[in-house]
Chains A and B, each alone.
Chain A
Amino acid sequence: MDTNVVVAALLKDGIVRSTLLRHPKTFACALESLAEIWEPRDEWNRRGLPKRDLTKMLRFLVRQTLAVETRRQPAEQVEALSRVVGDADDAPVAALAHGAKRLWTFNPRGFAGFSGATGVVLLSTGEVLRLLRAG
């Protein structure tokens, strides 16, 4: 799953959050995505919750909800994919999706070249839900 999907799970009380909670360890997330989200926490933590609470919440996501890929993606693969994806920061997500052959993202335009070059299928939230229903 793309970084923006993880952000949606954190900030939006909606279908993304409930889907991840209902299907623990089904969706893989790059460790780099979590690092990227953690860095500007003062921006999304609008109620100023203490760092302790944010850590607990992330720990829960990592331990019980997301399948977090903790192995480093091979540098040459990330390097090669960074040339194909629109934004080089998306390369770790692309490397993860390359193995899974599917990517849940809100930004299909950003991954269009990557999808064309690798055959990875880009999924909207609606398509993810349809796949889950189909089993």
Chain B
Amino acid sequence: MTDSLNRYRNDIDHVSELVQVLFRCEASLVRQLDRAITAAGFRTRNEWFRAQVRKALDDAERREALGILDKLTIEGITEEEIVSMVKAWRARKS
């Protein structure tokens, strides 16, 4: 019991703020959702929702980062040029 209380306290301590999110949704959709998320291995709607939020945020981060990588691309640069570039950084450092 003490262990589980400590774990709970630890979880709460590491969450800066909890908010409650309410949705309106057709009852039949929620029933379908419950079946689907149970089949997918989620124990609660809350657990599923958190996973979806994290996934959406990861997807957004990925899209944004890929856009930045596109802008960083140097056309035609070769592996040999990259090796020389790293050697030059080190030579300047030492």
Q: How far is the CA of A11 from the CA of B74 in the complex (A)?
A: 5
Residue in A8, A39, A46, A61 whose beta carbon sits within 8 Å of that of B82 in the complex: A8
| Interface SS of chain B | helix
Distance (whole angstroms) from the CB of A125 to the closest CB of chain B: 8
CB pair A106–B89 under 8 Å, yes or no, is no
- The answer to whether the Cβ of A102 comes within 8 Å of any Cβ in the partner chain is no
Interface residues of A in 107-132 (CB under 8 A from B): 107, 125
- Which residues of chain A come closer than 8 Å to B62, judged between CB atoms? 60, 64
A47 interfacial contact with B, CB 8 Å: yes
| A39 & B89 in contact (Cβ 8 Å cutoff) | yes
B35 at the interface (CB under 8 A from A): no
Number of residues on chain B facing chain A (CB within 8 A): 25
B14 at the A/B interface (Cβ < 8 Å)?
no
Complex interface residues of chain B between 36 and 94 (CB less than 8 A to chain A): 58, 61-62, 64-66, 68-74, 77, 79-80, 82-83, 85-87, 89-90, 92-93
| CB-based contact B82/A49 at 8 Å | no
Residue of B nearest to A61 (CB): B65
Please, how many angstroms separate the alpha-carbon atoms of A45 and B64 in the complex?
A: 17
- Name A21's closest neighbour in chain B (CB-CB): B66
Judging by beta carbons under 8 Å apart, are B89 and A40 in contact?
yes
* CB-defined contacts of B69 to chain A, threshold 8 Å: 10, 13, 17, 57
Do B73 and A12 have beta carbons less than 8 Å apart? yes
Which residues in chain B, 5-21, are within 8 Å of chain A measured between CB atoms? Answer: none
Contact B89 A36 (CB under 8 A): yes
Q: Is the CB of A7 within 8 A of B82?
A: yes
Q: Is the CB of B72 within 8 A of A49?
A: yes
Nearest A residue to B59 by beta-carbon distance?
A: A64
* Contact, CB under 8 Å: A11 / B72: yes
**Whose C-beta in chain B lies nearest to the C-beta of A52?**
B68
B80 touches A64 (CB 8 A): no
B61–A59 CB distance below 8 A: yes
Q: A4-B86, A46-B72 are in contact. List 4 more A-B contacts (CB 8 A).
A: A10-B69, A17-B69, A39-B89, A106-B80
